[in-house]
Amino acid sequence: MQPKVYVTREVPDAGLGMVLKGTDAEVWEGELPVPREVLLEKVQDIEGLYCLLTDKIDEELLDAAPKLRVVSNYAVGYNNIDVDACTARGIMVGNTPGVLTDTTADFAFTLLMAAARRVVEAADYVREGKWKTWGPKLLLGFDVYGATLGIAGFGRIGQAMARRARGFDMRVLYYDPATSGDPDLAESVDLDTLLAESDFLSIHVPLTDETHHMFGAAELAKMKSTAVLINTARGPVVDPDALYDALNAGEIAVAALDVTDPEPLPADHKLIGLPNCIVMPHIASAGVATRNKMAVIAAENLLAGLEGNHLPHCVNPEAYATRRQA
Ligand code: DGY
């Protein structure tokens, strides 16, 4: 008999097909996340869960899933999962690192360029019929080449961002107490220096208790009034009220956010109303090929765990020794 699995959204066929072939899977077919009460009911007799960053995998859910052996997240980030609680129950947790690094860095750099050169504002200007002539002062932005890029979090995506910046002749600084990166790629600095010297500050830290609201009023006040803040990591790393105040008061010039707090950001949220804030719907990894690869890796993690093997990409390998058996 094949192991029972629940898939919380329709993911690309490349991965979904593997799951449907190798397991007895049920898929939530709605466009919005599976309602919590439905998920709590569906997990009661499953051994594997293929889930998304929009699903909260906490103690309550784990308690409702006594046979659960593998949680496979269709994302590299896994702040939606209580990993310690999974480990304590012998449940293996997988994620999808690597395959979305360059796609996400491409998008972070897209936001940097769009914010610097006012691309979204300019497109709106044309669409709204405001374009009357070439203007010497029309929609002036910031030069990117030669500017200083500060990178908070120098993991895979932060380093990929640095490589892109080098191609634009930028000076690149990074802050990451946990990583010593290639000094030819970027210069390691403390957080205050990063804040004070960056023309562009791109955030690439994971969301943890330590990084929650890492960029609040005090940090934003240390930035240049001409600075651009780019966040493609996780929304709660930036305090949204402090960011609004800083943008509104001109303490920093522009923010470009692919991730927000809360997510989704309500259409009437004050940040969306600011002309100097670009908000995107969390699409940094949304390349067709990338999402296919993520779907496959998440499927491989799930199937390996269900077979009792090591997950190719496991965030809690220490759980392997005490893993739940079929
Ligand atoms: C992730 O994988 O963590 C991204 O936020 C979505 O691809």
Residue 292 pLDDT level (bands cut at 50, 70, 90) = very high
In angstroms, the CA 74 to CA 20 distance is: 16
Ligand 1 pocket test: pick from 100, 237, 258 the residue with the most ligand atoms within 8 Å of its Cβ. Answer: 100
Q: Look at residue 207 in the predicted model and tell me its pLDDT.
A: 98
The whole-number average pLDDT for the span 96-119 is: 98
Superfamily of domain 101-279: NAD(P)-binding Rossmann-like Domain (3.40.50.720)
In the numeric block, which tokens belong to residue 46?
């499953």
Residue 318 has a pLDDT of 97
Distance CA(167)–CA(145), nearest Å, equals 9
Mean pLDDT of 252-263: 98
Mapping DSSP to helix (H, G, I), strand (E, B) and coil, where does residue 219 land?
Answer: helix
Label residue 88 left, alpha or beta by phi (over 0 means left) and psi (-120 to 50 means alpha). alpha
For atom 4 of ligand 1, the residue with the nearest CA is: 75
The set of protein residues with a Cβ atom below 6 angstroms from ligand 1 is 53, 75-77, 100, 285
Q: How far is the CA of 77 from the centre of ligand 1 (A)?
A: 6
Question: How large is the angle between the packed helices 119-127 and 101-116, nearest 10 degrees?
Answer: 60
The Å distance, Cα 260 to ligand 1 centre, comes to 13
Residue nearest to atom 3 of ligand 1 (CA): 77
Q: What distance in angstroms lies between residue 20's CA and the mean position of ligand 1's atoms?
A: 23
Residues assigned a catalytic role: 234, 263, 282
For residue 289, the CA-to-ligand 1 centroid distance in Å is 14
What is the value of pTM for the model shown? 0.97
Percent of the chain clearing pLDDT 70 (strictly above): 100
Residues of the chain within CATH 3.40.50.720 domain(s) are 4-98+288-325, 101-279
List strands edge to edge, sheet with 48-51. 24-27, 4-7, 48-51, 70-73, 92-94
Residue partners of 6: CB distance under 8 A and separation at least 6: 25, 26, 27, 28, 39, 42, 43, 46, 48, 49, 50
Look up the CATH number of domain 4-98+288-325. 3.40.50.720
